[in-house]
Structure 1
Amino acid sequence: MASDRVRIAYQVRGDGPPLVLLAGQANDHHWWDGVRNDFAGSRSTVTIDYRGTGQSDKPNLPYSIARFADDVVAVLDALSLERVDVYGTSMGGRVAQRLAIGHSRRVRALVLGCTSAGGRHAVDRGDSVRRDLFQPDPVKARQALLELMYSPAWLATHSGPCHVLGDRSMPVHARRGHLVASDEHDAWDALPGIAAPTLVLHGTDDLLAPAANASLLAARIPGSRLEWIQGARHAYFEECRDIAGPLVLEFLDQKVPRT
Structure 2
Amino acid sequence: MTALPRTGHAIAADGTRLAYQWRGTGSPLVLLSGQANDHTWWNRTRDDFAGTLTMDYRGTGDSGSPEVPYSTTVFADDVIAILDDLDIPEADVYGTSMGGRVAQWVAAKYPDRVRRLILGCTSPGGEHGIERTNDVRLALARRTSIEAREALQDMMYTPSWRAANPGPYTVLGAHGMLPHAVRGHLVASNTHDAWDALPTITAPTLVLHGDDDVLAPPTNAPLLAERIPDARVRLFAGARHAYFDECRPESSAAVKEFLEDPSHG
Report the CA distance between 1:168 and its aligned residue.
2.0
Report the CA distance between 1:156 and its aligned residue.
1.5
1:22 aligns with 2:32: yes
Equivalent residue number for residue 5 of structure 2? none
Contact 1:23–1:88 (8 Å) recurs in 2: yes
Equivalent residue number for residue 174 of structure 2? 167
Report the CA distance between 1:223 and its aligned residue.
1.5
Report the CA distance between 1:152 and its aligned residue.
1.1
- Structure-2 separation of matches of 1:76 and 1:175: 25
Contact 1:197–1:256 (8 Å) recurs in 2: no
- Structure-2 separation of matches of 1:137 and 1:204: 29
Between 1:192-201 and 1:149-158, the stretch displaced more is: 149-158
Contact 1:98–1:187 (8 Å) recurs in 2: yes
Equivalent residue number for residue 61 of structure 1? 68
Equivalent residue number for residue 137 of structure 1? 144
1:208 aligns with 2:215: yes
Contact 2:22–2:28 (8 Å) recurs in 1: no
Report the CA distance between 1:257 and its aligned residue.
4.4
* SS across alignment from 1:9: strand
Q: Deviations over 1:203-234 (max 9, x none)?
A: 00000000100011011111101001111000
Equivalent residue number for residue 119 of structure 1? 126
Structure 1 counterpart of 2:43, one-letter code? D
Between 1:73-82 and 1:246-255, the stretch displaced more is: 246-255
| Shift in alpha-carbon separation, 1:239–1:169, aligned structure 2, 3 A | same
Report the CA distance between 1:15 and its aligned residue.
1.2
Equivalent residue number for residue 3 of structure 2? none
Equivalent residue number for residue 12 of structure 1? 22
Equivalent residue number for residue 104 of structure 2? 97
* SS across alignment from 2:196: helix
Task: Give the fraction of aligned pairs with identical amino acids, expressed as a percent.
Answer: 57
Contact 1:109–1:256 (8 Å) recurs in 2: no
Q: Deviations over 1:84-104 (max 9, x none)?
A: 000000000000000001111
Structure 2 counterpart of 1:242, one-letter code? P
- Structure-2 separation of matches of 1:17 and 1:172: 36
Runs of 4+ in 1 over 6 A off after TM superposition: none
Equivalent residue number for residue 8 of structure 2? none
Q: CA RMSD in A?
A: 0.9
- Structure-1 separation of matches of 2:254 and 2:48: 11
- Structure-1 separation of matches of 2:263 and 2:189: 29
TM-score (norm 2): 0.95
Report the CA distance between 1:19 and its aligned residue.
0.6
Equivalent residue number for residue 185 of structure 1? 192
Task: Choose from 238, 253, 260 the match for 1:253.
Answer: 260
- Structure-1 separation of matches of 2:253 and 2:207: 14
Equivalent residue number for residue 198 of structure 1? 205
Report the CA distance between 1:239 and its aligned residue.
0.7
Tell me, which stretches of 5 or more residues in structure 2 are unaligned?
1-10
Q: Deviations over 1:47-96 (max 9, x none)?
A: 00000000000111110100000000000000000000000000000000
1:34 aligns with 2:44: yes
- Superposition map of 1:218-257 within 5 A: 218-255=225-262, 257=264
Q: Deviations over 1:160-202 (max 9, x none)?
A: 1101000121001000000000000000111111100000000
Structure 2 counterpart of 1:23, one-letter code? S
Between 1:248-257 and 1:146-155, the stretch displaced more is: 248-257
Report the CA distance between 1:130 and its aligned residue.
0.2
Report the CA distance between 1:255 and its aligned residue.
4.5
Aligned residues: 255
- Structure-2 separation of matches of 1:69 and 1:255: 27
Contact 1:204–1:233 (8 Å) recurs in 2: yes
Structure 1 counterpart of 2:164, one-letter code? T
